[in-house]
Amino acid sequence: MLNVIDLRGRTPSTAELRRVLPRGGTDVHSVLSTVTPIVEEVRDRGAAAALDYGERFDKVRPAAVRVSAEEIAGAVDTLDEKVVDALKESITRIRKVHAEQKPKPHTTTLADGATVTEVFLPIERVGLYVPGGQAVYPSSVLMNVIPAQEAGATSLVVATPPQADFGGLPHPTILAACHLLGVDEVWAVGGAQAVALLAYGDDGEDLEPVDIVTGPGNIFVTAAKRLVNGVVGIDSEAGPSEIAVLADDSADAVTVAYDLISQAEHDELAASVLITDDEDFAERVNREIEDRYTVTLNSDRVKHALTGQQSGVVLVDDLEAGVAVADAYAAEHLEIHTRDSRAVAERIRHAGAIFVGNYSPVPLGDYAAGSNHVLPTSGTARFSAGLSTHTFLRPVNLVEYDKDALAEIGPHIIALADAEALPAHGEAIRARFEEN
């Protein structure tokens, strides 16, 4: 099923690898003309416009944007006890990992009486978008809310689409996850209109705007995040989900096949890529995929994703070449199925998250590994990171010099100010030492 790209017998450059490796992605620019009027109308008309668009796109209009506290709390009682237990265990693990990510303040002493202290201040109000299209994603609630809480955000709002099947309320599993996390502000609004409402708020409806919008979504959500970036912060412009598997002949073809299938069920545009130096192993994986994908609930979606241009097998000469290809691809999720997989994983420089060995599959990270599953896509792992506690923190420097310390460095400041033709900067230093 997977297309094959054969790189054996040569050493392609980074530029060539970026051209030939499987890559899908979406053209956000192509929908900006559609999304811009939505964002502008929600900016101007607030919740009324958001509800109008929700009625048009989601075929349902909730009585109000804000979900009541009673409806949020009551959703837990609708869930299977096994699901509640699973959510609670995932919360515990994710919270532990993200609590330990928070950096501590530190002070650098440059001279007697001259210090710079770096502190980490939380973003105060956070807007978290949780999609509700092809699947229900309580895991996205956990992955967005917990790092914001651990960073110390003082105010959180979750925006998620209303559902016609639930009388205009968001899906109860989403509401239950919010309740388990202590989130009491949920807006029943989805799509580009949700992002715009988070950014601009609505005075009359007591919907306060946020300072940052995070969370995954479709191309229209991504376009809206691009349009409001600067009014608020955003985490990233996420593309379709992707997995790369770096494997040698020690790997198990069945588990690798299932891992590629599992990622493909996210979206028809999802990417599944196998990188290996063993052609026989690649053929076995392809056969296993062919034999097994039809039994999954989302088989049509899986087939579309696995046969698309964004998925494939990349054949390389050896493990060294495989590492180079994996780094050039910079996968959102990278699995390592090789001998001494930990050592190989530590050689990787570009990946959103690295899953080491046969018993650390990507679905573990999707739900309960403790790590975050909101990760950079489309090769952006070369220069950006996944969601974490750091996303919701701002490093701020406290600069504190006494008189003697400023006097010591003052001549250097004056010299540089004069060199830049900004003499008033130098005068601001001199004035502190002149007799009045």
Q: Where are the chain's structural domains?
A: 4-25+239-370, 29-234, 402-430
Band of pLDDT at residue 267, cut at 50, 70 and 90: confident
Asked if the model's pLDDT at residue 74 lies above 70, the reply is: yes
Q: What is the mean pLDDT of the chain?
A: 95
Q: How far apart are CA 316 and CA 274, in angstroms?
A: 11
Residue 29 falls in the annotated catalytic set: no
Quick count: other Cβ atoms within 10 Å of Cβ 271? 33
- At 83-127, the pLDDT tens digits run 999 999 999 999 999 999 999 999 999 999 999 999 999 999 999
> Computed from CA positions of residues 345, 350, 355, 358, in that sequence, does the dihedral angle turn out positive or negative?
negative
- Binding-site members for Zn(2+) are 263, 266, 366, 425
The mean pLDDT of 172-179, rounded to a whole number, is 97
Provide the 3-class DSSP secondary structure of residue 103.
Answer: coil
Residue 332 falls in the annotated catalytic set: yes
Asked if the model's pLDDT at residue 189 lies above 80, the reply is: yes
Q: In what order do the strands lie in the sheet with 4-6?
A: 4-6, 312-315, 271-276, 242-247, 333-337, 353-356
Catalytic site residue from 98, 179, 333, 373: 333
Catalytic site residue from 98, 332, 337, 350: 332
- Binding-site members for substrate are 241, 263, 266, 333, 366, 420, 425
Give the pLDDT score at 386.
95
Q: Which of 263, 217, 210 is nearest to 241 (CA)?
A: 263
Asked if the model's pLDDT at residue 133 lies above 70, the reply is: no
**pLDDT over 90, % of the chain:** 92
The one-letter code for the residue type at 421 is: A
First and final C-alpha spacing in the chain: 84
> Does domain 4-25+239-370 correspond to CATH entry 1.10.10.10?
no
Asked if the model's pLDDT at residue 25 lies above 80, the reply is: no
- What residues have CB less than 8 Å from 312, skipping those under 6 apart? 2, 3, 4, 5, 22, 273, 274
DSSP letter, residue 343: H
> Tell me, which fold does domain 29-234 have in CATH?
Rossmann fold (3.40.50)
Q: Which of 19-33, 178-192, 350-364 has the lowest mean pLDDT?
A: 19-33
Provide the 3-class DSSP secondary structure of residue 179.
Answer: helix
Asked if the model's pLDDT at residue 163 lies above 80, the reply is: yes
- At 374-393, the pLDDT tens digits run 999 999 999 999 999 999 99
DSSP letter, residue 410: H
Band of pLDDT at residue 136, cut at 50, 70 and 90: confident
pTM (predicted TM-score)? 0.93
